[in-house]
Structure 1
């Protein structure tokens, strides 16, 4: 069932992509040009070139956090997550108060299945910026990997409380609730997801499966279950 997969916990873009400016405190036209050119290539989908440009920015201004964040953004989009993690850590060594960067690091670590490190980075993000749906989804991913389906469902419920209009998140919550046998709650979660995105095939498939399971548990005739 497609919706049983956890929402991707790792953002594909670093949090500073929108409205990014050249490294603070620099007056260099080169830094300005590199930043703007790199962002232009990134937004055009040319992640390889963007990565090379941001690497040059890092080489010129390694003491600034922003170049490392931009480089991590491009590396993540290329699937080079280990290198992206290293770049994010360098950024946080420079400025550990960047809550969104801690969240990006947590997501990248979760993608690498380094869940203990992801949890620690997530807690750092929460300490700075407060709870977020993103961090709860990262926690859910780690708990699912440890076969703690009840814990994953609880984490996704917390995420859905913070982002109640996210249909995919509600569907993932329904799938997690199914896995730990909380069928009536799963049914409600799928109903919520369908109300938010009635055209989604994967969500409709998950909702139908939930209906079939509940009908079977209630002793419905086989023909009725098939028609569900």
Structure 2
């Protein structure tokens, strides 16, 4: 596994890189947000929030615009709002400093398993909607939808079994993380954004208190 470590504190970065190496993980380190945005992302990004040039939250947001590489935030900040915001804009997990390398590797492996499961979703089609897992894109009537990585993962999960209700907890644990503690409306916000991009709210039905399901709206053209 190859990891991009974005950390300007030498006293943290060096022992962390050494510790990861003992697990067979190769680390490429950069010290600024600008360098992170230019560097090869590898298989994982470990992102410090307190960078000298660009706030780590903004780096996370900009990385998510171009890649769905797993991101773990490393933070000494005690403010819960920073952690919640980071998770909501696309980070997969966060670890408060100080932390153990063993726990970090365990979390990386857990995120890797969830990512592989999500990517195993079979590409398919529902009327005019096409999900292409190979390219990680969804198209409606031949037009590629401008989805964020989280929106794509949400749509792909629902499309894996069209018509079946997927409960809210499973969605949060698959698309976000186990024991997700973010704002209660995070999932609803992403569903609303996805409905807007699909152009018809009837694509995603809400089973109040249970979850959501993907259906072909009545009268929708076959594509």
Q: Report the TM-score, using the length of structure 1 for normalisation.
A: 0.29
Query: Which one has a larger percent helix, Structure 1 or Structure 2?
Result: 1
Quick one: higher RCO (CA 8 Å, sep 6+), 1 or 2? 1
Higher Cα Rg, which structure: 1
Query: Which one has a larger percent strand, Structure 1 or Structure 2?
Result: 2
Q: Report the TM-score, using the length of structure 2 for normalisation.
A: 0.29
